[in-house]
Structure 1
């Protein structure tokens, strides 16, 4: 493309230069010739007054030699006298040409050896016609023509070279963005998802670069969503797995019971591996807000109805408070259900049998706060737990079988609305997870000042001070 543009520009510029330079060169040559013969006519006119006064040979000779062309031997006078024409000076024109001018009475130019001869008729006092001959050398006729032609050629060559250089720069400006775009497309095809194209060059290529970058971002987002979906679906398997594990624990002793428990443990291990693999490949990007909302109170009542049956089997006391009134939130129903299942599943997995837990819902003007509390031993290091959830990998301080994805699912649900997730100490003595869900994209009051035990005490204080619906008895 670059060389094609250079060739086109070279051809067009060359044609333009030729179209203007050739006629201009011809005009310059004609102007030089006209200038030389005009000077010759002026020189011939200087001898006219002498011819009108006398035809004496000596007088005419002195008059001819006194002129500049006569001194150089370039001026001659042909006077008709008795006995034949009188030639004064060096004659170069043919006798026939001289006689023709005398008879016609019109000036003419005759070609002679080494140049041209201007033959100018002049009237004598006797009524006869004399002919003044002025010799014009060839170099005077073409004086300055070669220099002018060289200048024209130089200007034309400069125009051609300049146009080629400009075309080459334009070609580079067009080709390089196209090459970068092609290279980026190849790298993206090789799996380098971070590849982007600088939005430079002509308008069309800038538009193509913008479209490519948008496509690459969309590909990255789609892959991230796919990995998140795989991880979320795998994590949602923990809910039925928890039920299976608890039911398997109540089977008693025997080969069948041991095989069932081993199968459940193996299945749980495979789910953990899937979650961990999906989390390791997931780019750290904040998800977009959910497009559809739901009634948080309805979802909480539904999930607590499911988990309360299992809690009754284990002798756990449960309580739901504040879920008797509607609480619309900008979170999709499956997302909120997955977040609640993740938190309640963690209660069953990481607290002793018989540990009580509660779910409270608080309403405010710009947010809905969901508190999940338990009476277990609590989380020793809330900051590490949140960090483990954000990185997607378990730490040394984490619980056995914990991938941290449960907290990360809850965190993403909260942050998609402008809220956040915090961990603290509950009034029941164990862990309290607070989910702040913004209704209008507004964040928690006071900003995010960190997580951990210190934040937990502030959350507990807010929970005791904020008015809420009367809590039902633990059952």
Structure 2
């Protein structure tokens, strides 16, 4: 609105600067036109006198010209004239016609010399004729000024409204981003500069989202990397002597040593809980982003298996565990987020390292058939005595952080699949995650015939 007022004032000043001189010019034109008509009348009478038309001819010329008056210098002014004797005598001595102001208007005095005699022809022009149509012209110019100012205000208001709306939208979006809403975007509009600012804002918001996602992925990756040595530390701590200090016949040194073992175990448990909490927080944030952008919830299961096995291979080597990866050479897309599939596989492998003795072999196999992808993890450990109870326990979590069967179950159920437990051909537990194939029509879940249960071969070098 302020811009409209400024534009109106500027247009008004420009209109005044242009129209006022134009009005004065029109007024001068009207005056010159009236004097030109008076000159024509006096010239008609003067021509008759010079031509020697006689008294009757001059009278006829006077009548035809509209009543000019003929004066003789040195004598009293002729009746009907408005010029004084002095003005007549001055005009007679001049070689050109003169215009003299009188009461009610002006008179044009034209000297005439013929046959050795002098005359002065007078034509009166009233003020009404001098200013004829001047008022009309001023009103027209005033109306034109009003139209110009009003039109400029309307046009500028229309143009400025779009620019102001674009600027307001940009401000509101910037405030929303400042408050933490990184999903806000704007539709660039308005002048070119504001439109470019809108595009730049959207790119900035996309970069912020990308940076936040990269940061969370980095946190999740670091957390997974921390969990591997933590698992090794916890297993080593569990292999130490008991930390019971209630036995009376213990020496003071033995009591201190067992208390140190207890502190180590408690510290490892606390640190593991913190890492698990960090993983859970990151996983929930990534899950919300995946839910908000389903088109990004697609990953290559083979790539995830290869990546995570590279991660776990270090701990497997430390614990002298032989392992084998089957079927992870070809691309197998599944409709789940990469981070979620990696978390589910890490949860199952973590259980293998946690609940089986060191040196226990395991196998990770991947296959696809009939619209489903089977991700199987077998081990040569003691197995799971009651698979149904284990699944129920995973469902209730019992205060778990989600690094177990419940993670895998939620992941598979999100695609219409399932998780099953069985006895592995290696002798231990077999966990199969059945996930919908992203490139095939899902069918009834079935784990039979999907993954061959071959014997464990040599660990790849």
CA distance in 2, matches of 1:295, 1:354: 24
CA gap 1:92/1:105 in 2 versus in 1, 3 angstroms: same
Q: CA deviation at 1:50?
A: 7.5
Q: 1:38 is matched with which residue?
A: 36
Distance 2:439 2:156 in 1: 61
Preserved CA contact (<8 Å) 1:77 1:89: no
Aligned residue in 2 for 1:271: 275
Summarize the alignment of residues 409-424 of structure 1 with structure 2, pairs less than 5 Å apart.
423-424=418-419
Equivalent position of 1:472 in the other structure? 456
- Name the residue aligned to 1:93: 83
Aligned residue runs from structure 1 range 64-75, under 5 A? 69-70=66-67, 75=68
| Alignment CA distance shift 1:157-1:305 (3 Å) | closer
Matched, 1:284 2:288: yes
Unaligned runs of 5+ in 2: 245-257, 291-295, 334-338, 425-429
1:41 Cα offset (Å): 3.3
What does residue 29 of structure 1 align with?
27
Greater shift after overlay, 426-435 or 110-119?
Answer: 426-435
Rounded Cα–Cα distance in structure 2 between residues aligned with 1:297 and 1:395: 26
Report matched runs for 1:43-442 at 5 Å. Answer: 43-44=41-42, 52-55=52-55, 60=59, 69-70=66-67, 75-78=68-71, 85=75, 88-102=78-92, 104=94, 106-121=96-111, 128-163=117-152, 166-167=155-156, 170-249=159-238, 251=240, 253-255=242-244, 256=258, 262-282=266-286, 284-286=288-290, 300=309, 303=312, 306-307=315-316, 320=324, 322=326, 341-347=346-352, 358-361=363-366, 371-373=376-378, 376=384, 397-398=396-397, 400-403=399-402, 423-425=418-420, 428=423, 430-433=430-433
Report the secondary structure of 1:117's partner residue: strand
Shift of 1:141: 0.7
Q: TM-score, structure 2 length as denominator?
A: 0.66
Paired residues of 2:228 and 2:312 also in contact (CA < 8 A)? no
Greater displacement, 200-209 / 394-403: 394-403
CA distance in 2, matches of 1:396, 1:159: 77
Which ranges of structure 1 fall in alignment gaps of 5 or more residues?
313-317, 386-393, 415-419, 437-442
Q: Deviations over 1:344-391 (max 9, x none)?
A: 113455899999853225699xxx986434664558999xx9xxxxxx
CA-CA distance at 1:34 after TM superposition? 1.7
RMSD of Structure 2 on Structure 1 (CA) = 5.5
1:174 Cα offset (Å): 4.0
For 1:421-461, what per-residue CA distance to the aligned partner results, in whole angstroms no more than 9, with x for missing partners? 9644477474313689xxxxxx74315x49xxx43x1x544
Whole-angstrom distance in 2 between the partners of 1:471 and 1:184: 60
Contact between 1:174 and 1:201, CA under 8 Å: does it hold in 2?
Answer: yes
Distance (Å, rounded) in 1 between the aligned partners of 2:216 and 2:222: 10
Which deviates more, 342-351 or 206-215?
342-351
Distance 1:40 1:166 in 2: 48
Question: Do the aligned partners of residues 114 and 206 (structure 1) sit closer, same or farther apart at CA in structure 2, a change above 3 Å counting?
Answer: same
Equivalent-residue separation in structure 2 for 1:371 and 1:154 (angstroms): 88
Paired residue secondary structure (2:223)? helix
Structure 1 residues 25 and 304: CA distance shift in structure 2, 3 A: closer
3-state SS of 2:207 partner? helix
Partner of 2:252: none
Q: CA deviation at 1:190?
A: 3.9
Q: Normalising by structure 1, what TM-score?
A: 0.65
Q: CA deviation at 1:32?
A: 0.3
SS at structure 1 position matched to 2:148? helix
Q: 1:19, 1:4 → 2: CA distance?
A: 21
Is the 8 Å Cα contact of residues 361 and 371 (structure 1) preserved in structure 2? yes
Contact 1:102 1:130 in 2 (8 A): yes
Query: CA offset at residue 211 of structure 1?
Result: 1.9
Q: Return the alpha-carbon distance in structure 2 between the equivalents of residues 196 and 424 of structure 1.
A: 40
